[in-house]
Amino acid sequence: MIDSVANSSTQGLRTVIDSYLRYLQVERNASDLTIKSYGEDLDALAEYLEESFALEPSPGEVTTLDLRGYVSAVSEAGYSSSTVARRLASMRSFFKFAQRQQIVEKNPAKPLRNPRKSQKLPHFLTSDEIGKLLNAPPRSSSAGIRDRAMLETTYSAGLRVSELVGINENDLDLHDGLVRVRGKGRKERLAPLGSYALVALEKWLDIRQLSPKSEQLKQRPVFLNKFGNRITTRSVGRMLEKYLKESGLDLRTSPHTLRHSFATHLLDAGADIRSVQELLGHKSLVTTQIYTHLSTANLKGVYELAHPRAKA
């Protein structure tokens, strides 16, 4: 074990940091990259505290409040949440070492919590883009009729692609415009189908040809591949990519984008969030709330474009 640093109020922060980095190298056999990373993080902390204290403090003088101020400063400087979390980890590890060496009584970094990771807003298509995509499949071929039915159904009911391919004949109630959906964790829900989806489904069901194997199944699939068997999620993804290219739409779009678009368009049109939660089959309202961020961003954009005094 390396020699303990003397427990002294005069022991400077940077001296203890140097001892900690030697500990990582000698005792923990840390890589050069790890030592460099910790060194840079702790150097930045020391610089901030020296400025704050107007001199180099000892580790024992540093409080949780001081460290919280540093974390706030890092965040306000525009660093990502992952960078802030890494610097917090460096501080916790350093002060844990200092506590073990009896340089500090308590670890002032321990009460600090990692920042919440910024949530990436889901990509979605505008109403016009959705219309362009849904009209892309040709009406003259069986594959085109099937593809149109799949796209219309996905967008109309806000389905996950796994839910779409899992639909069976007895899940459909075309008279009442409903489909029974099996979501995550085998949780079932009833989803409404709009008139466009119902027309597309009826046209597809009129020409659908099941394979002998599928005919014999108790739960006969609605959407089939060219062999008459249940279509796969991968095939749906390839189908979508083909129509995106033909329509000149954003190739980042995935089958799940139609679900994102469904939720965003409903909220933009005034639907309440709890109804959208039920329609999506979300267990928690928190999951649905990400779409309110999209809706708010859209409203803000409209406001800034339309309001005469939105911008100077």
Name the catalytic one among 87, 146, 160, 208: 160
Residue 77, CB half-sphere, CA atoms under 13 Å: how many?
A: 11
- Closest listed residue to residue 86, CA positions, set 66, 104, 60, 112: 112
* Catalytic (active site) residue 291: yes
* Catalytic (active site) residue 38: no
Q: Which two tokens stand for residue 119?
A: 């949530």
Name the catalytic one among 87, 208, 259, 265: 259
Residue 166, CB half-sphere, CA atoms under 13 Å: how many?
A: 13
Distance CA 68, CA 131 (A): 50
* Catalytic (active site) residue 187: no
* Catalytic (active site) residue 282: yes
* 188 strand-pairing partners: 182
- Closest listed residue to residue 136, CA positions, set 241, 291, 38: 241
Q: In degrees rounded to 5, what are phi and psi of residue 190?
A: -100, 130
Name the catalytic one among 146, 208, 265, 282: 282
Name the catalytic one among 28, 106, 117, 184: 184
* Catalytic (active site) residue 160: yes
* Catalytic (active site) residue 256: yes
Q: Which residues are annotated as catalytic?
A: 160, 184, 256, 259, 282, 291
